[in-house]
Copies of this chain bind each other. A is one copy, B any other.
Amino acid sequence: MKQPSSSLKYRLPVLVVILEVLLLSLYAGFVTYDDNANAKLQSNHTDPMDNSLYKDYLFFTDVQVMIFIGFGCLLAFMRLYGFGGMVFNFLTATFSIQWALLAQGFFHFHSDGKIHLGVINLLNAEFACAVVLISFGAVLGKTSPMQLLVMAFLEVPMFAVTEWAVLKYLKINDAGGSILIHLFACYFGLAVTRVLYRPGLSDGHAKESTCYQSDILSVMGTLFLWVFWPSFNSALALPGDDQHRAILHTFIGLSSSTLTAFALSALLSKRGKLTMADVQNVTLAGGVTVGASVDMMITPAAAFALGVLGCTACMFGYKYLTPFLARRLRIQDQCGIHNLHGLTGLISCFAGIVAILLASEDVYGPSMLPALQRLIPGIKAGEGRTAQQQALYQLAAIAATIGASLAGGALTGFVLKLPCLAQPPDEFCYDDEFFFEVPADYDNTGASETPCSPDEPKA
């Protein structure tokens, strides 16, 4: 198979150097330590164990494992694109977190005009990174590393602006990030892939398939995401009982969604067998669905029901909606992020609104107002919002987030079409050989001409 001369040799180094010079300049000019990391502000009277580090670091490492290992393995599900899935995830995640530290910090400048850096900033930046990686799922295997870096370069600040604006002006409750993270990431990614539409990929692709080992690797990624998802959904909740509930609800929602995924996978398969793509993706739907109400007093039973509901929507999305979007709307959603993050995110948002409308003194206790105020900054701000008004603000946040992400994604898509970003040609999609030195056995599976499951979208 004749290969075009490589596209990376100069383009990737030039782009990385530009980004690094930018990052280094901004670090040098605008970043200092936050009080908990600053020797100058620690005195003999400071108890070292009170440092914010010890509250945040556990959650930080859990989310790190999800981002680098969970996503990395999950995205390595393709037979000939294991390097690409795992390694481009590594590259994109690394850049996204660095860039998000600066972009998010810009909206929280201290009076001295500096970003004050602590582990809490890393934690927030990881969430911005998760946004980029979810969007990445829509274009997996069809993009060059230059395109991915530029996408991250544009998406991170767009997300940071949206996050800042929605939290500051609409003051919503979204502890698990169902609105800000999952909806933004999903619709951004869909807009990008719509703009990058490729007729040549619309009938499937010989290399777009899994193999036995890649399926197992991808399930490992799922398991890492599953195990640490409670940390993801609770990391930014308030310490104490709020964080405690977030963990319980996420665990229960994931569990019911996993059981449902196995049932539906057998039921909807032609031969009544389990499909690995379902095990890899649909099991996780419950983690997203509980997100927007994860720290509220929704009851464990409601968390269970939300998991079942989210999983069902996600499964039918993979089965019917993804092919429809691809055929009719020319949205080639590689990993089906619209199912795992879009549909579930929307359900989560509406569940969050219901939870706000149903909040009562009976449940939250005589101190209901303070309790709700802690959960929902809009009420906290003393603006006297009623639950109904807060529900409207949540709706407004959904609309604003989807609007911003669609616009941003479309714009980003057009930028990614720049020839200098060297999008791989159709015949080299889903193919490590195009970007990597590959070992001799890389395609000796004998399966190269007989794709095993070319029509299974995954994420």
A242–B33 alpha-carbon span in the complex (Å):
11
Cβ distance A453 to chain B, nearest Cβ, rounded Å: 7
A440–B450 alpha-carbon span in the complex (Å):
7
Tell me if B210 and A371 are in contact (CB < 8 A): no
Q: Is A320 among interface residues, defined by CB-CB distance under 8 A?
A: no
- Which residues from B are CB-within-8-Å of A251? 122
A171–B269 alpha-carbon span in the complex (Å):
51
Contacts of A54-89 to chain B: CB distance below 8 A: 55, 57-58, 61-62, 64-65, 68-69, 72-73, 76, 79, 82-83, 86-87
Q: Is A132 among interface residues, defined by CB-CB distance under 8 A?
A: no
A39–B69 alpha-carbon span in the complex (Å):
34
Q: Contacting A212 at CB < 8 Å: which of B212, B242, B438? A: B438
Binds B, one of A179-187, A300-308, A336-344, A348-356: A300-308
A264-303 vs B, CB cutoff 8 Å, 1 = contact: the mask equals: 1011010111111001000100000000000001011100
A211–B122 alpha-carbon span in the complex (Å):
35
Tell me if B439 and A42 are in contact (CB < 8 A): no
- Which residues from B are CB-within-8-Å of A239? 48-49, 51
- Which residues from B are CB-within-8-Å of A242? 39
A117–B303 alpha-carbon span in the complex (Å):
13
Q: Contacting A272 at CB < 8 Å: which of B9, B238, B247, B441? A: B9
A421-458 vs B, CB cutoff 8 Å, 1 = contact: the mask equals: 00000000000000111111110111100111100000
A-B contact pairs, 29 of them (CB 8 A): A8-B274, A9-B266, A9-B272, A10-B272, A13-B267, A16-B259, A19-B259, A24-B301, A24-B308, A31-B301, A33-B300, A36-B241, A48-B238, A48-B243, A61-B231, A69-B220, A79-B441, A82-B212, A87-B279, A90-B223, A94-B259, A119-B244, A122-B248, A122-B251, A211-B440, A211-B441, A212-B438, A212-B441, A440-B452
Q: Is A322 among interface residues, defined by CB-CB distance under 8 A?
A: no
Tell me if B76 and A27 are in contact (CB < 8 A): no
Q: Contacting A69 at CB < 8 Å: which of B47, B224, B365, B437? A: B224
- Which residues from B are CB-within-8-Å of A370? 44
Tell me if A228 and B61 are in contact (CB < 8 A): yes
Q: Is A262 among interface residues, defined by CB-CB distance under 8 A?
A: yes
Given pairs A49-B240, A211-B439, 8 additional interface contacts (CB within 8 A): A6-B271, A9-B271, A27-B301, A32-B300, A68-B226, A94-B259, A122-B248, A145-B262
Tell me if A241 and B27 are in contact (CB < 8 A): no
Cβ distance A272 to chain B, nearest Cβ, rounded Å: 3
Q: Contacting A53 at CB < 8 Å: which of B42, B72, B247? A: B247
Asked whether A20 and B308 contact (CB < 8 A) given A241-B42, A262-B145, A441-B445, the answer is yes
Tell me if A39 and B273 are in contact (CB < 8 A): no
Asked whether A364 and B40 contact (CB < 8 A) given A33-B245, A215-B439, the answer is yes
Asked whether A243 and B51 contact (CB < 8 A) given A17-B263, A255-B98, the answer is yes
3 closest Cβ pairs, A-B complex: A9-B272, A48-B240, A40-B365
Cβ distance A105 to chain B, nearest Cβ, rounded Å: 11
Cβ distance A21 to chain B, nearest Cβ, rounded Å: 10
Q: Is A420 among interface residues, defined by CB-CB distance under 8 A?
A: no
- Which residues from B are CB-within-8-Å of A238? 48
A260–B38 alpha-carbon span in the complex (Å):
28
Cβ distance A315 to chain B, nearest Cβ, rounded Å: 12
Tell me if B300 and A27 are in contact (CB < 8 A): yes
